[in-house]
Structure 1
Amino acid sequence: MSATFLTLQPRPGDEIDPSVDHGIQAIVSGASTAETCNTDLAAGPWDFDARPGYGPGSSMGDVIPTGAPRQGELPAEYRAASEDELHARIRAAKAALGERVVVLGHFYQREEVVTHADYVGDSFQLANAALEHPDAEAIVFCGVHFMAETADLLSRPEQAVILPNLAAGCSMADMASIDDVEECWEQLEDIYGDLTAPDADGLVPVVPVTYMNSSAAIKGFVGRHGGIVCTSSNARTVLEWAFARGRRVLFFPDQHLGRNTAKAMGVPLAQMPMWNPRKPLGGSSADELDGARVILWHGFCSVHRRFTVDQIDKARAEHPDVRVIVHPECPMAVVDAADEAGSTDYIRKAIAAASEPTTFAIGTEINLVQRLAAQFPQHKIFCLDPVVCPCSTMYRIHPGYLAWVLERLVAGEVVNRITVPADVADPARVALERMLAAKP
């Protein structure tokens, strides 16, 4: 399939619908011949709130941890409301609240949610955007759980950070639990000795580095153990910071970002063993770990794991002049086959900077790709994966939940507040501050 409902370029005078949900509804109704990974995506996410799991979409096959947050039942009036009614209620609630609330929307959110956001960006951009509103009583974060936690870490104590749907977690973040990471650290101590003791060159045996896409507990662990947080846009700078302080880096939870970044810095693949928390010594030998430069956690993003070299080859065959840009969370072979790799913000800026009409094949979440296609109609922009399969957990945020939390605020009630305990928050902030200080 070379073109789908969601990637087909418009005829002159037509516009691209930026809504992935509209495209999925058309697929399920038979109005589109495109393909989706799960027809349940056409249902309201409240149909899945009471069930364990990440819901339909890219992460539906991932195993959710026991005790993961679940969302209580959304009142029937929001489940039954039409799209137009929900939009009207959200606008009315925001108008009533004024500057008392700021709504943040991640790049991967549904168009029906992003349209109401005061700021749109990646997780760290949005956390910083919250800082620009110190007088707001509430920050409504339309994203996933770890993002709301980061906003809580960086906001003032009296500000309430709200996640519209508590079931909006992140399967990749869940792949590095605090218990597994602490067990890994203990096993590394058995191999390397005192992990706080520098050698003759002043380097400690291991420096932990966590991707922003991790829980507050993991960020706190990193802060307590001399480590640092990174984003997809500054991972190289952060690894340079870590190598200046340690012989090795323990990088989690995303193996692909760690591998792609370290490989670009000249670290041989043989010096990047994988740590699988389900295996003794992570599945490596003591000798392999002794010779390691980067120990990669066995984690991944199910959205970006869907992209393949075959998809790139097909895009090039059908569009010889195509410019392929993928996210560094994609597997190494995909990054190597692409023309460029970069963060969501990098992808957005690269398209915006193209002065001549260009064909772009993009390897990242479909909501962003479709929005970019609508925003820049002078270009032909399509997702490498022809199957419409949004991020399962981002898709759990629906206008019905946004209307609910905003109207509860109008009524004087805070629901779905995300709070990070002080014993976790303090060291987590240290790790974030180190990241902010590590400038390219």
Structure 2
Amino acid sequence: MSITDVRIPAIDPSVDRTIQLVTAGAGAGSTCTPELAAGPWNFDGAPGYGPGSSMGDVIPVGSPRQGELPRAYRDATAEELDERIRTAKATLGDRVVILGHFYQREEVVRHADFVGDSFQLAGAATSRPDAEAIVFCGVHFMAETADLLSTNEQAVILPNLAAGCSMADMADIDSVQECWEQLEELYGTAPDADGRVPVIPVTYMNSSAALKGFCGEHGGIVCTSSNAETVLEWAFERGQRVLFFPDQHLGRNTAKAMGVPLDRMPMWNPRRPLGGSSSDDLTDAQVILWHGFCSVHRRFTVEQIDRARAEHPGVRVIVHPECPMEVVDAADEYGSTDYITKAIAAAPAGTTFAIGTEVNLVQRLAAQYPQHTVFCLDPVICPCSTMYRIHPGYLAWVLERLVAGEVVNQISVGADVADPARVALERMLAAVPPVAPRGAHPEA
């Protein structure tokens, strides 16, 4: 999807401009913290996920941090940065390809050659093998995936190294390996009469390259919210049960829709012996869920849905499967960001949508489809704190360094991890979901 020609619609797609107005007292609404109005470089030197992150999200020691952004970029106006990005991109031409996640700021995503969810961008990373550099406007695990799928000659660049993911950090390789050892001790390793092994590991795309490598080494696979059901079907054909990490909600919502009973989906808390479950519960399990979650999607509630229905009779409520189960159950439909985007695009004019996903995408869709009423379920403006670390200043900086012949903020995955991780990713890319997305409730 190319969006190099941008027209500012009647509805402003910029979350940043909205936050600036709200914090200045010139706009309606509220934001989760006024610090979001400041440039992210103000927080690069301190550990943490940045303004807007949950108080409970504790960043691991040693997480990447971004060095100081040169003053010329920090002091530049929005218009100046926009022009610098356009000029640098034009100069580089086919030497660079820019990937932008749906949750990115409007001021960044407008410069992307491809815009999509993690599944789509994983494919896009392979589409320009002749480009010298892939600039990934997303978060760290996405850039790692692009490095795994791109050629050895290509450099993958993350504009701000501090753009991590709290969900991805909730499952680290040491904890997963310890879990696996305990499960092997409980289940053994011998396949059953149908040739299915005791357990198959499945990692969500929102995880480190090390965990993708773990899955590749142990007969497992990667999934995204677009193909989670297809991936679980793949796993159930090969294993008696699944270990699903790091997002419990995507795993629970997907497996429940496939008919897996809730009492056969025990939780694994890495801080407790046997994950906090009994050996009987684990033996009877079909899906073992890791104790992880997305702080953005955990903000959505059933009360918000009830309020949307009361204030907008006939509203169509669509939420992301990273939302808690009770929220998914209360919605009309659920699906990936791509599912949400396509549902809005295909709806008859005049439809009202209440959307439960990250606000940058929701506000952009509201601007892109003015024939509808589209709003975020959460009235408090609180974007993904780590996606928000990618600011036009960083994008201008990495592109102008490329023009000068210098690669900065390169993301590289070592061969010992990369080789098995590619195996798991290739299995994911082959697990193409049905043409008609399965996300709607039967009555929807």
- Distance 1:293-1:14 versus aligned 2 partners, 3 A rule: closer
Superposed CA offset, 1:108-147 (max 9, x none): 0000001111111112211211212111000000000000
Secondary structure of 2:252's counterpart equals helix
Of 272, 275, 278, the residue aligned with 1:279 is 272
Superposed CA offset, 1:366-421 (max 9, x none): 00000000000010000000000000000000000000000000000000000010
1:360-439 mapped onto 2 (5 Å cutoff): 360-439=353-432
RMSD across aligned C-alpha pairs, in angstroms? 1.1
Answer whether contact 2:119 2:226 (CA < 8 A) is retained: no
Superposed CA offset, 1:187-239 (max 9, x none): 11121122xx2122211110000111111000000000000111111111111
Query: What is the distance in 1 between the residues matched to 2:309 and 2:89?
Result: 45
| Counterpart in the other structure of 1:114 | 109
| Counterpart in the other structure of 2:163 | 168
Q: Does 1:252 align with 2:253?
A: no
The amino acid across from 2:148 in the alignment is L
The amino acid across from 2:321 in the alignment is P
The amino acid across from 1:133 in the alignment is R
| Counterpart in the other structure of 2:174 | 179
| Counterpart in the other structure of 1:26 | 21
Q: Does 1:326 align with 2:311?
A: no
Q: Does 1:153 align with 2:148?
A: yes
Superposed CA offset, 1:79-112 (max 9, x none): 1111011011111111111110011111000000
Q: Does 1:124 align with 2:119?
A: yes
The amino acid across from 2:231 in the alignment is V
Kindly state the Cα deviation for residue 438 of structure 1 after the two structures are TM-superposed: 2.8
Query: What is the distance in 2 between the residues matched to 1:273 and 1:175?
Result: 17
Answer whether contact 2:9 2:368 (CA < 8 A) is retained: no
The amino acid across from 2:277 in the alignment is S
Q: Does 1:142 align with 2:142?
A: no
Answer whether contact 2:213 2:424 (CA < 8 A) is retained: yes
| Counterpart in the other structure of 1:262 | 255
| Counterpart in the other structure of 2:293 | 300
Answer whether contact 2:47 2:59 (CA < 8 A) is retained: yes
Unaligned runs of 5+ in 2: 1-7, 434-444
Of 29, 45, 48, the residue aligned with 1:50 is 45
Query: What is the distance in 1 between the residues matched to 2:230 and 2:337?
Result: 18
- Distance 1:65-1:14 versus aligned 2 partners, 3 A rule: closer
| Counterpart in the other structure of 1:313 | 306
Q: Does 1:191 align with 2:181?
A: no
Answer whether contact 1:53 1:60 (CA < 8 A) is retained: no
The amino acid across from 1:155 in the alignment is S
Query: What is the distance in 2 between the residues matched to 1:420 and 1:206?
Result: 27
Query: What is the distance in 2 between the residues matched to 1:176 and 1:32?
Result: 39
Kindly state the Cα deviation for residue 33 of structure 1 after the two structures are TM-superposed: 3.0
| Counterpart in the other structure of 1:9 | none
Answer whether contact 2:9 2:367 (CA < 8 A) is retained: no
Q: When the two structures are aligned, how many residues end up with a matched partner? A: 426
Query: What is the distance in 1 between the residues matched to 2:223 and 2:111?
Result: 28
Query: What is the distance in 2 between the residues matched to 1:356 and 1:18?
Result: 19
Superposed CA offset, 1:139-168 (max 9, x none): 000000000000001100010000000000
Answer whether contact 1:141 1:162 (CA < 8 A) is retained: yes
The amino acid across from 1:283 in the alignment is G
| Counterpart in the other structure of 1:35 | 30
| Counterpart in the other structure of 1:62 | 57
Query: What is the distance in 1 between the residues matched to 2:382 and 2:431?
Result: 35
Unaligned runs of 5+ in 1: 1-12
Query: What is the distance in 1 between the residues matched to 2:227 and 2:192?
Result: 27
Query: What is the distance in 2 between the residues matched to 1:75 and 1:437?
Result: 42
| Counterpart in the other structure of 2:438 | none
Query: What is the distance in 2 between the residues matched to 1:439 and 1:375?
Result: 27
The amino acid across from 2:257 in the alignment is A
